[in-house]
Structure 1
């Protein structure tokens, strides 16, 4: 029996350190690393059953070739040699006829590994050699990251562990008890010491229930609320004038902007009572240090970048950036600086190539730009279930002239549209380097067990494709360990092999004590870079569609993470499916009454883009005018074959081409009622039934 150090690879700020117990070559136990200061022995409700998921009956174990129509999910088993030969021939033919940019490597956040996953842009050397289009990862955090960087030069803010020192904690559009729960133990300790916790969210989440106060603004109105709070701070003369004078630029211009947003106006923009805005502003003005936790969900709308820019400006007015427990925490990404250039190998790219925005998948596949996308290689992503404008994404994936390869662990909805399917290893089966974008630790994930079936690591898959293409560039054939050592250096690799993890920042780290990584070296209320990019040089409020009245679609629909799924990962795991239930929409009692809806009804949620079916829950846990659902359901497991992304828009946010999942208006009508017999029937109909049902294999 042996314990093997590893780490969770999933799209979560916590990036947990874990320990796998191996007996006779089998992983028998998985637990959070008790010695790790952030993980502290605990994994989440989703990952606790990871070993069971690795052994699931519907795991993809062998290469497959499509034998039915696209979308049918009918495949036959083939060898790895057949698969890589086919892929090599097709990709080279596309490159020769249309140019390398006709190939789109479409990578998602299924793994955030530095070797096998997104952090290290796994496969980039091969795509550089082929001259493939550059994939822009824009669905998650880009708008907020750019917005924050206009203010402070980086989105890497305060050390989340220092929330234990905060006296006022603002949970702004974030629900850590569902999406990254480890930070909450520091907040709970602060709360025990007398800190006041405010949840700012249109939904009364699990986290909001633990807060001292819940404020429910209209979705997308966050920047307006921030301006109103700062208006109160200025009214009281509570700005930190010394900090502002020494550490910021552009205060006079920003002050003029703030004064345009008195609480009365902000009450109209946010739908919050003026007296509550004033009381909240007074608390902010008089409480040091104040720490703001703001994560990805709250910036997925037309003004998302502006909102994060504003939230990172608040501690510049109050002076909170100078204190442990003060500032804002969107991400820690960017503070760990490995040798990324050494593994990306952008020097192998002979000429510049175009960039393709992953949020615009349907547009790119249907509009047939010059050159058209003729080959799509999807890995660590499930765009059929996760991308906006689901109907048009399906139309694009149905193109017979589009050669599609999907590298996957399970038969997702996207797999059904593949020409070739390649089985991928899971985290306990390969080497990787992992961190988290919500803490300050780096981890080495050692392979604990042999891969199941014929599954291969991401890099091994690309090595085999490169070999089939007869490409001899050494970077295309570097082993997983060689890539990890290039990334970390030999000394750190050896250290992590023995210890599993290491903190790379000082304890109780306070950022920006030596200045800000901006052109001026100071916090920039006035940003020349923003002006050069065609944006307002001063932080402000950009309204979203969700805040604008629409007679045809009067409800603002937001769909944050499920407590039981991580995007669409785990949405085929039977026990978690049972806990999550099917798609559900929660309406305020007044909105439900106006539509004749009651708890237990089945609703049709729709707009001009599409519709999905969901069970109705009537509750005051959402504000009036807002309907809440969750993302992540597989289409093949739900009634109507559609999830919430049937209604979301393929449209850019204000910065970076980010997604606008929470900038969505719909109407809802009754489609039926649910009784116990119906529920039992649907559970039987839509439960996962094993690999031979989900991906139909034809014997060879």
Structure 2
């Protein structure tokens, strides 16, 4: 490092399990280089294809740098620059008027996963103290993982699972509904270590993804039938007499109920449900019966359908039946966030009384006339929320006062009355914890914010001051908020201080290495793993819907170039994405007269979007796939895949159903 250069340790804030540690090189006040931290045991010096362009993104020509007020019709994206004082004054007057006339519940603070920070973002419920003082409605952030979390809590009492680093010790690895090489590629290094020691890797996924192509085996399961496969595999384990009877007797409850469900799902029946060959189900079941330890990695895609919560609960039952929780490298991990025990003090005592809860993915239904202010931050609901066409209708309401805190002119910004410029990660302080590893990370600001951009916390501090609010906790500094987070007293935080985090950049949670969870029991009412008595398989909507004119099951997986809608406007990544595309099996393409590279309409009763046809056997007949993350205004036809995604709930946790929709395809009248 040359003289005059400064290395600043930080962390990636984006909605990815890897939460990378990074190093920013600063020269003369400017960030000139960013790389993955080579000293971090999980990041190991590597960032992803998306974040490699992060510094370039912070300097993009379309970055929002100043407060703005709408001057054109809603949806037009026409604004004029105003000062912060003007913005705060207008917002204060409008919020006060709404509270006085309609009550605080008429305000909906709509927070997303644009940043997962515990100070600035969704993990710490940023801004909640401010909203509590006003008595605003609660916001249920269910868009990502709530169905799976609910299912896991029923079994384990927590969504926490394996330490992903212990996959290096696994001898059978099931990558279940997860595309590791696109959505959390740092785990692959530990999988490679396991393979070098003889591990067998199986990808269970409706699509032959990058990960499936690199696995030893790929099971192209019918979407939403994962719980049935789990039951079938356990059926083979029982037939082999390989269930861990000691573990079942001493560490679980409800086994007899689950056993009856398993016996009702022999491989032949499961083959009919899942579309997989019976021989493949038997072969994997036999391998599972005979291989310890088996590690299962399941992520959010596996639970985005009508039976998603039950699917996670049933898949999570496997390590109890096989006794894999006894072993390092055995068990399942969906999210490690359940092992993070920070003190998230949102000061709910500040609420004037009980308030309603409004649900994130139900924006199209719940943004009715009772909501007079929608405040959007770290979210892009026009791009990311189901029922896209109906969401747009709601955002066009003239009586709705909409404020958007943003970095770029997203689809949602176009419908704002006031736009407030937001900082990016290298410009503010934050505390992070990966949901795919066992580390806390500190993000030290590396440079000053450009223009008049403010962090989330500073925006709410200034607004509270402008409104004359006197609650002292509204004015806590970022460092004070971070200090408070570390005061839970949980043993996993022993020895972890803010001073240490700021100095070292990251610290592993105070847990053993290797970490084997649940050795001292489960955080359930019984202290045991609880199989429960509910259904073990709930069919997807696509399987139970009445026959009609929409015969194709659509799934909308993550893009390799975008992260949700973040980077959806980056010119280079947009070019690499090649625009919205739809994977179609050759048989389905032939029936519809579709050819490679042709533009097609993808439609149902919810709406339609356009995508370029990619004919491929990466999907099975009857299944089509189109990646999420595209911006509506940058897409042909002015719509994205969420135009055909229904605002329905999964079976548990009101989870979203992005992978459980029926559509039809037809050639566009014009192609290009």
Q: TM-score range by the shorter chain?
A: over 0.9
Do 2:496 and 2:507's aligned partners in 1 also have CA atoms closer than 8 Å? no
> Is residue 443 of structure 1 aligned with residue 423 of structure 2?
no
Output one character per residue of 1:298-354: Cα deviation in whole Å (capped at 9) or x when no partner: 10111000000011101000001111110001000121212212xx11111121111
Q: Which residue of 2 aligns with 1:654?
A: 651
Q: Which residue of 2 aligns with 1:138?
A: 142
- SS in structure 2 opposite 1:2? strand
Q: Which residue of 2 aligns with 1:345?
A: 347
- Structure 2 distance, partners of 1:233, 1:85, is 66
Q: Which residue of 1 aligns with 2:388?
A: 390
Which structure 2 residues correspond to residues 13-92 of structure 1 after superposition, within 5 A? 13-92=17-96
- SS in structure 1 opposite 2:312? helix
- SS in structure 1 opposite 2:51? coil
Q: Which residue of 2 aligns with 1:500?
A: 505
- Structure 2 distance, partners of 1:399, 1:28, is 44
Of the three residues 478, 483, 488, the one matched with 2:476 is 478
Q: Which residue of 2 aligns with 1:691?
A: none
Of the three residues 469, 483, 488, the one matched with 2:486 is 488
Q: Which residue of 2 aligns with 1:332?
A: 336
- Structure 2 distance, partners of 1:539, 1:330, is 21
Distance 1:539 1:192, change over 3 A: farther
Of the three residues 586, 594, 597, the one matched with 1:589 is 586
Q: Which residue of 2 aligns with 1:4?
A: 8
Q: Which residue of 1 aligns with 2:248?
A: 244
Do 2:387 and 2:643's aligned partners in 1 also have CA atoms closer than 8 Å? yes
- Structure 2 distance, partners of 1:578, 1:282, is 45
Do 1:309 and 1:539's aligned partners in 2 also have CA atoms closer than 8 Å? no
Q: Which residue of 1 aligns with 2:192?
A: 188
- Structure 2 distance, partners of 1:297, 1:571, is 20
> Is residue 521 of structure 1 aligned with residue 527 of structure 2?
yes
RMSD, aligned α-carbons: 1.1
Q: CA deviation at 1:469?
A: 1.0
Which structure 2 residues correspond to residues 81-160 of structure 1 after superposition, within 5 A? 81-160=85-164
> Is residue 235 of structure 1 aligned with residue 233 of structure 2?
no
- Structure 2 distance, partners of 1:282, 1:538, is 26
- Structure 2 distance, partners of 1:605, 1:336, is 41
- Structure 1 distance, partners of 2:190, 2:280, is 27
Deviates more, 1:545-554 or 1:306-315: 545-554
Output one character per residue of 1:261-284: Cα deviation in whole Å (capped at 9) or x when no partner: 111111111111111111111111
- Structure 2 distance, partners of 1:394, 1:350, is 32
Q: CA deviation at 1:100?
A: 0.5
Moved over 4 A (4+): none
Do 1:159 and 1:332's aligned partners in 2 also have CA atoms closer than 8 Å? yes
- TM-score scaled to structure 1, two decimals? 0.93
- Structure 1 distance, partners of 2:521, 2:485, is 28
Q: Which residue of 2 aligns with 1:271?
A: 275
Output one character per residue of 1:636-678: Cα deviation in whole Å (capped at 9) or x when no partner: 111100000000000111011110111100000111575xxx4
Q: CA deviation at 1:539?
A: 5.0
Do 1:254 and 1:539's aligned partners in 2 also have CA atoms closer than 8 Å? no
Output one character per residue of 1:611-631: Cα deviation in whole Å (capped at 9) or x when no partner: 000000111011111001100
- SS in structure 1 opposite 2:666? strand
Q: Which residue of 1 aligns with 2:607?
A: 610
Which structure 2 residues correspond to residues 609-628 of structure 1 after superposition, within 5 A? 609-628=606-625
Q: Which runs of 5+ in 1 are unaligned?
A: 527-536, 679-700
- Structure 1 distance, partners of 2:307, 2:534, is 14
Do 1:310 and 1:539's aligned partners in 2 also have CA atoms closer than 8 Å? no
- SS in structure 2 opposite 1:199? strand
- Structure 2 distance, partners of 1:89, 1:205, is 51
Q: CA deviation at 1:551?
A: 3.3
- TM-score scaled to structure 2, two decimals? 0.97
Q: CA deviation at 1:49?
A: 0.7
Of the three residues 320, 331, 335, the one matched with 1:316 is 320
Which structure 2 residues correspond to residues 559-574 of structure 1 after superposition, within 5 A? 559-574=556-571
> Is residue 357 of structure 1 aligned with residue 359 of structure 2?
yes
- SS in structure 2 opposite 1:244? helix
Output one character per residue of 1:429-457: Cα deviation in whole Å (capped at 9) or x when no partner: 00100111000000110000000100000
Aligned residues: 659
- Structure 2 distance, partners of 1:16, 1:448, is 16
- SS in structure 1 opposite 2:668? strand
Do 1:525 and 1:539's aligned partners in 2 also have CA atoms closer than 8 Å? no
> Is residue 434 of structure 1 aligned with residue 428 of structure 2?
no
Of the three residues 196, 211, 221, the one matched with 1:217 is 221
Do 2:12 and 2:22's aligned partners in 1 also have CA atoms closer than 8 Å? yes
Q: Which residue of 1 aligns with 2:419?
A: 421
Q: CA deviation at 1:579?
A: 0.3
- SS in structure 2 opposite 1:49? helix
Do 1:219 and 1:547's aligned partners in 2 also have CA atoms closer than 8 Å? no
- Structure 1 distance, partners of 2:283, 2:480, is 57
